[in-house]
Amino acid sequence: MAGLQLSGLASGFDWKTLVDNLIELERTPITRLEAEKTLNTRKQTAFDGLKSRLTELQTANTALKTQGLFSGRTATSTNTGSNWLLSAGTGTAAGNYTFDVLQLATTSRRTGTGDIGQGLSATDDVSALTIASLPTPTAVTAGTFTVNGQTVTVALTDSLQDVFGKIATATGNAVTATYSASSDRVTLSGTSEVVMGAANDTSNFLSVMRLANNGTDTTSSGSALGSTNINTPLINSGLRSAITAVDGTGNGAFTVNGVSIAYNINTDSLSTVMSRINASAAGVTAAYDTLNDRMVLTNKTTGDLGLNISEATGGLVDALGLGGTSVLNRGLNARYTVNGGAEVTSTSNTFDASSHGITGLTVTARSESSETIAVTSNTAAMKSAIETFIAKFNAVQTYIDDQTKITTTNGKVSAALLSNNREIQGWAQSLRANAFSAISGLDGTIKRLDDLGIDFSSGTSQLSIKNSTKLDAALLNNAADVERFFTQASTGFAGKFDSFITSTIGLTGTGGNLGSQSTQLTKSSSSIDEQIAALERRLVQRRAQMEAAFIAMETAQSKLQQMQTQLTNAFSTKTSST
């Protein structure tokens, strides 16, 4: 009889559609419950939005209690275009301070002897010294250069003597060139004034040889030509003096300001050694002066401080000319006065309370000049914190107004989602009352927001700065009173707001009215889910019962139809026989 489950197969009656309609009618309570849960969800979302805005208000309120906010200071120079660096900390006495810098602090410097590298050649004969192999800081490029208007072409395969010959040939022996091993210099001599170079020269030979016009018939290299190769191992770097104060494997060490610097002549280059000095705790910067082929050590800190370097005789220090032949130029201490007082000295160009005695004030001078530093209350930070509070307060008020308002348009009344929640409306009123009320126990000039030029905009729940001049004056001249107004224990402005938001609205946990209402909504939605599930189970049973009854009806009707058919057939046969 499985086929009889088809609606109306025997009866011709579409009972399945009837069952669907009856079940849908019985789903009415479920639809109502689902609508109620949707409303709960919307309210929960609204509560979350309110909680978010109240949290932001609490954060802005807490900022008003930040230690040092209203005692903070800012320092500015009255000199237009000043590049001095200034800062003033909490507690710095407000006022003007004139710093007259008589002398800036400088660093101590130890300069090694020049020409520490070997010359171009050990003898005056440079016929075997090719241009490509010259030990100069900059390699000579092939091309042309000009002497007395005549073009000289140089190739990298030429020897230095070949180039000298080409100069003589090009100028018809009017200019001759020689090299002196003792001075490590090239000299051009002419029968008249020697003029070198042209705009279209393509070789840098003249500049590498450090030759320049001087208006005479003789010109020599401006300094020794040979240089140290700082990127090859020390043993091959071309130093004039051999490094002998090392062990059998080439290891040696020297000290800079008492800090040991190790090296190996077979593996370490001068560049590597300089990097070790610079990275060490010696407080020194090492540099190689390419032009003068010498080493220079400079203290990283300013002031009249020593710069000591030592090593056994014959070590790297001697080879670099940093031993007894080097020159120490001691740094200078800064000298300055404050407000025309006694002269003060400092090893640094940054003057703080340790030298001038003004708590919290730090001045970094960058010129020997006189500048007046104005230390004032940091009104920008104060005002920013107050403006942020106002913005967050207004955001809460606007949100509550939007969620609880009732409007009438063309006689039709529309109610917002939380319009019947008197408690939330009461919170908005309490927040406004806290903002409007005076703070008790204060003896200063600031007792309420109105004393700061802050009040509600007419006819609204929105705070605004109605008198910016009044606020600026209060922050500048009565910052201490403003601080007491906001921060006085739990009774101050910020304290009252913090207490109300935390305890009454319960943002810090599950307590408080907002937390309670949210919890109630959650419980209500859970209960609705249970009710819907129970009703759905009952509807399943109800459908099964109705479908079973109609199937039984179809079965009975089918049997009746079969019996009727049999009877009809029987009587029809008998009549025919008769």
Give yes or no for a contact between 377 and 383, defined as CB atoms under 8 angstroms apart: no
Residue 576 confidence (pLDDT) above 60: no
pLDDT at 2: 46
| Eight-state DSSP code of residue 117 | B
Q: State the residue for tokens 């500015």.
A: 76
Taking the chain, what is the end-to-end CA distance rounded to the nearest angstrom? 38
Q: What gap in Å lies between CA 67 and CA 56, rounded to an integer?
A: 19
**Residue 328: in which H helix or E strand, if any?**
strand 327-329
Say how far apart CA 408 and CA 387 lie, in whole Å: 34
Alpha-carbon distance of 114 to 121, in angstroms, equals: 17
Nearest-angstrom CA–CA distance, 140 and 209:
9
Q: Read off the pLDDT band of 3 (50, 70, 90).
A: very low
For the chain, the residue count is: 578
CA 436 vs. chain centroid, Å, equals: 40
Tokens 């000290």, residue located: 255
pLDDT at 216 > cutoff 60? yes
Single-letter code of the amino acid located at 413: V
Find out whether 126 and 159 touch, Cβ atoms under 8 Å: yes
- Give the model's pLDDT for residue 67: 87
Q: Lowest mean pLDDT: which of 37-46, 192-201, 347-356, 564-573?
A: 564-573
Q: What is the pLDDT of residues 115-164, one digit of tens each?
A: 899 999 999 999 999 999 998 888 999 999 999 999 999 999 999 999 99
d(CA 200, CA 195): 15
| Cβ-Cβ contacts under 8 Å for 548 (sequence gap 6 or more) | none
Tens-digit pLDDT profile for residues 357-401: 999 999 999 999 999 999 998 899 999 999 999 999 999 999 999
Beta bridge partners, 338, equal 99
pLDDT at position 26, please? 80
Q: What is the mean pLDDT of the chain?
A: 89
- Comparing CA positions, the residue from 67, 72, 59, 58 lying closest to residue 382 is 72
Cβ contact 166:160 at 8 Å: no
Beta strands 95-103 and 251-256, pairing class: unpaired
Alpha helices in 460-511, H assignment, sequence order:
468-477, 479-487, 493-499
Q: What average pLDDT does this structure show over 104-109?
A: 98
Reply yes or no on whether the pLDDT at 199 is more than 50.
yes
Is residue 421 very low, low, confident or very high in pLDDT (cuts 50, 70, 90)? confident
Cβ partners under 8 Å of residue 182, min gap 6:
none
DSSP of 34-92? HHHHHHHHHHHHHHHHHHHHHHHHHHHHHHTT-TTTTT-EEEEESSTT---EEEE-TTP
3-state helix, strand, coil in the chain (%, to 5): 40, 20, 40
Whether 306 and 298 have beta carbons less than 8 Å apart is answered as no
User: Span 38-56, mean pLDDT?
Assistant: 85
pLDDT value, residue 531: 84
pLDDT at 508 over 70: no
> Alpha helix (H) ranges present in 232-330?
270-279, 316-319
Task: Give one DSSP letter per residue of 277-293, joined into a string.
Answer: HHHSTT-EEEEEETTTT
Cα 461 to Cα 398: distance, rounded to the nearest angstrom: 8
The structure tokens listed for 145 are 């250069």
Place of tokens 């739990």: 490
Rounded to 10 deg, the angle between the 468-477 and 379-404 helix axes is 140
Query: Predicted confidence band at 512 (pLDDT cuts at 50, 70, 90)?
Result: low
Separation of alpha carbons 107 and 24, rounded Å:
93
Q: What is the pLDDT of residue 575?
A: 55
pLDDT digit string (tens) for 240-292? Answer: 999 999 999 999 999 999 999 999 999 999 999 999 999 999 999 999 998 88
Identify the band that residue 548 occupies on the pLDDT scale cut at 50, 70 and 90: confident
Gap between the Cα atoms of 331 and 63, Å rounded: 46
In this structure, are residues 221 and 185 in contact, taking their beta carbons and an 8 Å threshold?
yes
**Calpha distance 448→378 (Å, rounded):** 21
In this prediction, residue 509 carries a pLDDT of 47
Residue ranges of alpha helices (H) inside 243-315 are 270-279
DSSP state of 193: -
Share of the chain above pLDDT 90, in %: 61
